[in-house]
Amino acid sequence: MKSVQQEIDERTNLTNTNKFELLLFRLGGDENGDRSELYGINVFKIREIVAMPPVTAVAGAQPHMLGVVNLRGQIIPVMDLPAIVGVKPKTGLNIMLVTEFARTTQAFAVESVDEIVRLDWSQVLTAEGSNATGMVTSIARLDGDTSGTRLAQVLDVETILRRMVPAEGKEVDPESIPTIALKQGAFILAADDSVVARNLIEQGLQAMHAPFVMTKSGKEAWDKLNSIAVGCKAEGIDVADRVALVLTDLEMPEMDGFTLTRKIKQDPRFSKIPVVIHSSLSGKTNEDHVKGVGADAYVAKFVAEDLATTIKSVLHKKDA
Cβ atoms 249, 233 nearer than 8 A: no
Q: Are 154 and 142 in contact (CB under 8 A)?
A: no
Instruction: Reply yes or no on whether the pLDDT at 194 is more than 50.
Output: yes
* Cα-based distances in Å from 202 to 184, 191, 206, 252, 281: 20, 11, 6, 18, 20
pLDDT digits (tens, 9 = 90+) for 287-317: 666 666 789 999 888 888 889 999 999 998 8
Q: Please compute the mean of the pLDDT values over residues 119-133 and round it to a whole number.
A: 77
For residue 82, count CB atoms less than 10 angstroms from its CB and return exposed for 0-12, middle for 13-18, buried for 19 or more.
Answer: buried
Alpha-carbon torsion 232, 233, 237, 238, what sign?
positive
Where residue 15 falls among pLDDT bands split at 50, 70, 90?
A: low
Nearest to 300 by CA among 264, 253, 250: 250
What domains lie within the chain, and their CATH numbers?
A: 19-164 (2.40.50.180), 187-319 (3.40.50.2300)
Q: How far is CA 237 from CA 230, 232, 234, 242, in A?
A: 10, 5, 8, 8
What is the bridge-based pairing of β-strands 136-141 and 151-155? antiparallel
Residues 45-60: tens digit of each pLDDT: 899 999 999 999 999 8
Please state the rounded mean pLDDT for residues 135-142.
Answer: 91
DSSP one-letter code for 62: P
Cβ-contact 318, 297 below 8 angstroms = no
| Residue percentage of the chain with pLDDT more than 90 | 56
pLDDT of 131 over the 60 cut:
no
pLDDT of residue 313: 92
Asked whether residue 169 carries a pLDDT value surpassing 50, the answer given is no
CB atoms within 10 A of CB 163: 17
Q: Is the model more confident about 251 or about 286? A: 251
How many angstroms separate the most distant Cα atoms in the chain? 66
Inform me whether the pLDDT recorded for 100 exceeds 60.
yes
Predicted TM-score of the model (pTM)? 0.80
- How far is CA 195 from each of CA 135, 198, 201, rounded to the nearest angstrom? 9, 5, 10
pLDDT attached to residue 8: 44
At 9 the three-state DSSP class reads helix
